[in-house]
Chain A
């Protein structure tokens, strides 16, 4: 076993999880939770780090409830959080179509989609709350797509059997985020939210074991400063950028949650990574990020590669007989619509066989010729026009004339800080919401469910559960001189100074690229024992080199984008190692984690429920991490093995 990499600690339990009938658990919890006296709310301050769907909705709602909120983001405006980029849509069990959807079905689909690695109670609550999200967003003026009768349109997304995805053309994330941002703006104007854009959280302040504030760096002036509160909420998004190339925005990082992890918050399931099958392939060494093409393209596009490797003919010159429509061949009943992980891995496999197309052989065709012949060019343009344009803008190729090239890319991280049913981490007073926590998606996330979770957490769950903690406040007033505060701030200053002092010979980006390459090769779509062991060694060596040889130009008391990068990369190194260790210890395949050693005879992911039906929550020690297991039980949805043949 891989125990030379980690130690095993005591199992943990979700102390807030209610029991009873699943449909009543959320009600019961809300009733059991302590309330904060309305007059007391304005004496309580809450810090919210992040202004994405999760953080933005939470900050607005907490302020509406009467708390004083301090909000932080690294962008120049809260409206630019990465949630803005979500395209496809948001799920909700409204059953407006009468097609058999229900809270229970959304719950069932999500647990199953998560490959039985999530908590039933959490997921059920998510499905319940989903309904209120749509109401709230519509009331805010989110311009969801509508039908001629004036009612909301929905579509079926990511292979769901029911039409439960609400959308705003291809810009659902943008519209939802602007809704939350505007709700925040109203509270900023009212003086209830103190907004700090271009401000990065660099550490968590713990006093007497409670989360009491954050140390931040002002990205314009470089000023390092303490902010105090009665509770801290982290909504800092996902960490897919550990792979360097991903569909995430360039600034997405793990720093906020990693710093909290170092201060004692357990990190759950770091290795669960979702790799999206339809992204525009890498075009060269200069590539700085990858662009997602909506999954809906697979509804009409056919995926293929040449039958034999090394075929350099133009796609149009390859006759039908010499093409391999491999998804249709291997998965006759689902064809091009197999789930994301299967489509991604299949693409990787054909490319590994040398049959990939485009620069570097890392791409497969997504061909619309049949769809154009069948539906007509206009119909295809109506459905996919903007996507085709976006593709052409980036690649210079017109999908009407030549097949698109696509390749999988890192898209979403299911792992994150461990939280209980109240969304509280293992540090009292530290709450984690949105993609930054691990809560609801298990080992894999369904399409259109991240937006749902972010808004569920921020609008409806956290504002209810945080009161139970804050009812004990306000806590002792703090100032910069408090020893625990001064230590945290000093540590941040030292670290900044240290990064600048190395003054080596390699740029931060060059390290990041190399780290990403290691992660992609060994901790990407397919992971193996040997590969992961190798990766851990490579990461350690690279990290050591980083601290010896990185070259961060400029100073700390100014806008210094290289310094920002370097700090984030330093944290990615530590995370990367933990991801590999988590992947190494989980010798089963499940959801977004595929272990080469654990597959069915025909190459499908093989779960090991006997051994691994648990959440792996890791404790930071500075040396070998300690594994705490939270066992998962399934009362309502019995684990079954997926099959898409």
Chain B
């Protein structure tokens, strides 16, 4: 199929960007979205143009490195899918596709479609861990964990840190990301001792970094490739406020 792409091009963090139009021909429906961009890049290089920079690594939906806003939706319209897993068969011949980077003040553009997401690392560094130095652990069976808590914790722990939640949120909030970690650790017995401090430190760090607040709209969970539920945000709020959380 033949497509028209409008791609955000920006030389570096300080320069102004703009949408540039490219036409790509003979795209196979079996290609992934990133393979389609690979094809375009190969052509751009041979034409002496600067290829489009975009982040990616595993290309199987787990590393969280990829992420493009495709026609206004982070990771594209297909639900529960990362950009690298999105395939061209979901587009039609003749389609125009607008491709933009994640947009949020704490995620400055590095080049073209590449943004700097290190703010997420800062949030985890603020307290997204259990403080257990290597070698100090008791036997793994010393503390049983109810299966239900373990499963809910796991659901939250599947977050890949891609940042689509921030990109989608009208407030540029990192609540879903932050809440996923707070929920994961807060549901396990191992996470209890630091639970209150963790929530406070992580939430305050997100604010300091310039993310917005949550208004419970739910765009984040709708675009989340792992479907992290909004319930995690309720848990985060409860932990932050020092209230007991309800439900899951």
Contacts and interface: CB of A to CB of B under 8 A. Distances in A.
B140 A134 contact: yes
Contact of B130 (A140, A150, A559): A140
A249 B110 contact: no
A599 interface: no
Contacts of B130: 139-141, 182
Contacts of A250: 56-59
Contact of A77 (B46, B117, B141, B151): B117
A27 to B, nearest CB: 15
B30 A182 contact: no
A536 to B, nearest CB: 28
28 contacts: A61-B134, A76-B55, A79-B64, A85-B62, A136-B137, A138-B143, A141-B130, A143-B157, A146-B151, A152-B140, A168-B157, A169-B154, A171-B158, A175-B157, A183-B132, A188-B125, A189-B125, A189-B126, A220-B116, A249-B57, A249-B63, A250-B58, A251-B57, A286-B35, A286-B38, A288-B32, A561-B51, A561-B53
Interface of A: 57, 60-61, 64, 75-80, 82, 84-85, 94, 96, 132, 134-141, 143-152, 168-169, 171, 173-175, 178, 181-183, 185-186, 188-189, 195, 197, 220, 249-251, 283-284, 286-289, 291-292, 390, 393-396, 459-460, 463, 505, 507, 509-510, 551, 553-554, 558-559, 561-562
A136 B118 contact: no
Contact of A558 (B12, B85, B145): B12
Name the residue among B50, B55, B58 with the largest chain A CB count within 10 angstroms.
B58
Contacts of A559: 12, 53, 110-111, 114
A507 B45 contact: yes
B81 interface: yes
B120 interface: yes
Contacts of A507: 42, 45-46
Contacts of A393: 81, 85, 87
- Which 5 A/B pairs are nearest by Cβ-Cβ distance? A150-B144, A139-B137, A182-B129, A143-B154, A283-B30
B97 interface: no
Contacts of A144: 150
A78 B64 CA distance: 11
A494 B173 CA distance: 44
Contacts of A178: 157
Given A132-B135, A141-B153, A146-B150, 9 more contacts: A57-B134, A76-B65, A138-B143, A140-B190, A152-B140, A185-B124, A250-B57, A291-B60, A396-B87
B44 to A, nearest CB: 8
B178 to A, nearest CB: 13
B126 to A, nearest CB: 7
Q: Is the interface of B mostly helix, strand, loop or mixed?
A: loop
Contact of A136 (B32, B129, B134): B134
Given A146-B145, A178-B157, A220 B30 contact: no
A559 B50 CA distance: 11
Contact of B64 (A80, A143, A289): A80
A238 to B, nearest CB: 14
A520 B65 CA distance: 28
B138 interface: yes
Contacts of A148: 147
Contacts of A141: 129-130, 153, 184-185, 188, 190-191
Nearest to A134: B140
A56 B124 CA distance: 15
Contact of A76 (B35, B116, B158): B116
Name the residue among A82, A173, A249 with the largest chain B CB count within 10 angstroms.
A249
A181 to B, nearest CB: 7
Contacts of B28: 283-284, 286
A85 B51 CA distance: 27
Nearest to A292: B60
Name the residue among A79, A141, A558 with the largest chain B CB count within 10 angstroms.
A141
Nearest to A555: B50
Given A76-B116, A510-B42, A85 B63 contact: yes
B179 interface: no
B89 interface: yes
Contacts of A149: 144
Contacts of A150: 144-147, 150
B51 to A, nearest CB: 6
A195 to B, nearest CB: 8
B167 interface: no
Contacts of B143: 138
